[in-house]
A and B are shown apart, each in its own frame.
Chain A
Amino acid sequence: MAILTLTIDGEQLSANDDETLLEIARQHDIAIPTLCHLEGLSDVGSCRLCLVEIEGSQKLFPACTTRAQEGMVVRTKTERLQRNRRMIIELLASEGNHQCAVCVVNNHCELQNLAYEVGLTHTRYPYLYPKKRLDASHPDFIIDRNRCVLCTRCVRVCHEVEGAHVWDIAQRGIHCEIISDMDQPWGTSPSCTSCGKCVLVCPTGALIAKGENVAEMEKKTDFLKYIVTARVKREWINTDGEE
């Protein structure tokens, strides 16, 4: 591991060469919006919200999967990036079915927060109102694909942390959807341990617990920190908050 220096938004910073631009930015309180990234899970760079500019290249790079290099000059808040981020949120809004007023996670939703962050007053793209499947066959949980943004956090947490690998993505392009096992009702899945991790990491109202009412459900993702630290460092974080 080597130490290097780079510039983010005009600030000279030093970092380790195995750190991503997102990790470095967050250590220095430089805000970059993210959706598919979740600390404790592997990064896939799929939502493209964290795209940044790197001097010397016309291309944009996802901060969550790009490693720092010596002398890099990174910009995270240019007008072009802001425009792109708003466009991504508009596309997500128009290709799903989001009715916040009747959604279980209303006011506790990462998609909503991102929409506020990019100033989403309305969506310029025509709403597609696709027909999506809802599956309430699991005794404790529901997957409502109308609210799914295909971030794959559920896929990764179930595979990487729980080790059950219930979720996958089926189909291509606009028809992509999250499926359980061999595309069977979740309640019949022989591999699901009913641990509920997927529900907790889902950023939207797509995975929810049964019995929650409109605007009632708040997701907590800090459980990941305990599991990952225990696994990687072989030490347990004291649950009183002291490490």
Chain B
Amino acid sequence: MKPRVATVWLGGCSGCHMSFLDMDERLIELAGRMDLVYSPIADVKEFPRDVDVTLVEGAVTNDENEEMAHIIRRNSRFVVSFGDCAVSGNVTALRNGFDKEDVLRRAYVELADVDPQIPRDHPTIAELMAKARPLHEIIPVDAFLHGCPPTADQIWFAVSELLEGRMPAFSPVYLRYG
């Protein structure tokens, strides 16, 4: 059976996933070596059981992200913090120096062109946490893939290693922030 791989988009800009797609024709090779069982680029509603490797983009910034992080951990053998936001909070954490209510007001009221109001009090709307947090402060993480976003080469290296059952050892070439 081929390794089962998932990718998840939490509090990030989707740039890490764009970089994943930047692997271009190497994606075809990857497709032959793994099954993508859950991803923003695959139409699967529920996070499945028994996943071998899960790449997580983004910081944990609202209660939905937090719940998802625990689901990921329960169902994955290897969890990888995928990109600087997952590793350290990065751009998603730029708001952390401000009060949560001020942030919401700024985004949804002061900068709104039409119908300024803070979306809340509805079961489908996630509640922002007081601070965005790196993934490993919420759940144990097995490997860290840096960069904002990580380059296609970095992702290729890390995923190839993980598919072989090896922990990617990031040489200085692959250890780079920003």
A122 touches B178 (CB 8 A): no
Residues of the A chain whose Cβ atoms lie less than 8 Å from the Cβ of B87? 121-122
Query: Binary interface profile of A, 99-127, with partner B (CB < 8 Å = 1, else 0)?
Result: 11111001100001001100111110011
Across-interface contacts of B32 in A (CB, < 8 A) = none
Q: How many residues of B contact A (CB 8 A)?
A: 26
Quick check: is B176 within 8 A (CB to CB) of the other chain? yes
Q: Is B172 an interface residue (CB 8 A)?
A: yes
Q: Min CB distance, A100 to chain B, in Å?
A: 3
CA distance A64 to B136 in the complex (A): 35
Q: Which residue of B lies closest to A113 (CB)?
A: B172
Cα–Cα, bound, A129→B59 (Å): 14
Assuming the A-B contacts A119-B175, A122-B136, A126-B137, are A101 and B97 also in contact, with contact meaning beta carbons closer than 8 angstroms in the complex?
Answer: no
Most interface-central of A112, A115, A121 (chain B CB within 10 A): A121
Contact B93 A99 (CB under 8 A): yes
Say whether A116 contacts B88, CB under 8 Å.
no
Contact yes or no, B88 A98, CB < 8 A: yes
Q: Is A132 an interface residue (CB 8 A)?
A: yes
- Within 71-107 of A, Cβ neighbours of B (below 8 Å) are at 93, 97-103, 106-107
- The distance from the CB of A62 to the nearest CB of chain B, in whole angstroms, is 26
| B170 is an interface residue with CB less than 8 A from chain A | yes
**A215 interfacial by beta-carbon distance below 8 Å:** yes
Establish whether residues B177 and A127, one from each chain, have CB atoms under 8 Å apart when the complex forms: no
**Chain A: minimal CB distance from B122 (Å):** 28
The answer to whether B82 has its CB under 8 Å from any CB of chain A is no
Q: Which of B72-125 contact A (CB under 8 A)?
A: 81, 84, 87-91, 93-94, 96-97
Chain A residues touching B, majority SS: loop
> Given A98-B88, A122-B134, is A127 in contact with B93 using a C-beta cutoff of 8 Å?
yes
Is A131 positioned at the interface, with any CB of B under 8 Å from its CB? yes
Alpha-carbon distance A192/B144, docked complex (angstroms): 43
- The residue of chain B having its C-beta at the shortest distance from the C-beta of A94 within the complex is B88
Chain B CB within 10 A, most for which of A99, A115, A130, A146: A99
A116 to B84, CA, bound (A): 14
Residues on B with C-beta less than 8 A from A103 are 178
A101 engages B178 (CB within 8 Å): yes
Chain B, 118-150, CB within 8 A of any chain A CB: 131, 133-134, 136-137, 141, 144, 146, 148
B residues sitting closer than 8 Å to A (CB atoms) are 81, 84, 87-91, 93-94, 96-97, 131, 133-134, 136-137, 141, 144, 146, 148, 170, 172, 175-178
- Given A99-B93, A122-B81, 14 new contacts (CB under 8 A): A97-B94, A99-B94, A100-B178, A101-B148, A112-B178, A119-B175, A121-B144, A121-B170, A122-B88, A122-B134, A123-B88, A127-B93, A129-B131, A131-B97
The 5 residue pairs across chains A and B that have the minimum distance between CB atoms? A100-B178, A101-B148, A129-B96, A100-B177, A106-B178
